Structure 1
Amino acid sequence: MKEMNEVELLEALKNTGEPLVVFLHTPLCGTCKAADRMLEVAAHLLPAELQMVAGNVNMLPNLVRQYRITSVPALLVASADRIDDPSIYYSMVSVERILEYIRSVTS
């Protein structure tokens, strides 16, 4: 999963065309590491053209403020048309749940 900086992420969240999944984390978060492994598995079960990227919230103050991110790990899932704000998910208890989150917005 490609790590993006704040400018790249904010731009990607504005651009329409493809669904976007943004994994928000911090480097020392153990729960984030577990969620990252679940996302790796989920990525193999999703369409290859689905863009999945990551961002370290310590380096994303404007994005955190704009989307009111309250904890990590968090998953921002944006639809292709970007009409609505991205859906934000904090509970990543299983690969199945992560797939459900992503498919609910991208399908």
Structure 2
Amino acid sequence: MQQWPEEKIEELIDSHTDGMVYFYTPLCGTCQVAGKMLDVAVELFPNISSGKSDLNFMPRLAEQFQIESVPCLILLKEGVPIEKIYAFHSVPFLYEKMKQIASK
């Protein structure tokens, strides 16, 4: 999953595109595990725009999205946040969540 700057996330929102953004912090062990699961699930949906960002450098977006903790995956439908996921249960769980935005 590609590292996205704040501008890329804003571009995704402004273009009303379907996609997802994964927020993490580098010292978070749970984020490391969640990121690996997400990497597997993302490969199954090459047409969904997806990126990751270190929340330490995104205070404005953290407030805008009201992110409470990391890891956090925000699913966007037409640029609008439709769901925030904090518990990355399994790859099949993430696959099902991603399938929702791919088919809505």
Aligned-CA RMSD value: 1.4
Identity %: 30
**Amino acid of the structure 1 residue aligned with 2:14:** K
Is the 2:37–2:90 contact (alpha carbons within 8 Å) kept by the matching residues of 1? yes
Give the gaps of 5 or more residues in structure 2: none
Partner SS for 1:52:
strand
1:76 deviates by: 0.7
Q: Name the TM-score, length of structure 2 as normaliser.
A: 0.89
**Corresponding residue number in structure 2 for 1:99:** 95
Bigger fraction of residues in strand: 2
Inter-partner Cα distance in structure 2 for 1:64 and 1:9: 12
The answer as to 2:19 corresponding to 1:20 is yes
Inter-partner Cα distance in structure 2 for 1:73 and 1:106: 22
Q: Which whole-Å deviations, capped at 9, do the CAs of 1:32-76 have from their partners, x for residues lacking one?
A: 110111011112222x22111001000001100001000000101
**Corresponding residue number in structure 1 for 2:66:** 68
**Corresponding residue number in structure 2 for 1:89:** 85
Give the gaps of 5 or more residues in structure 1: none
Name the count of aligned residue pairs: 103
The answer as to 2:52 corresponding to 1:50 is no
Is the 2:19–2:101 contact (alpha carbons within 8 Å) kept by the matching residues of 1? no
Give runs of ≥4 in structure 1 deviating > 3 Å.
none
1:101 deviates by: 1.5
Inter-partner Cα distance in structure 2 for 1:76 and 1:52: 10
Is the 1:26–1:32 contact (alpha carbons within 8 Å) kept by the matching residues of 2? yes
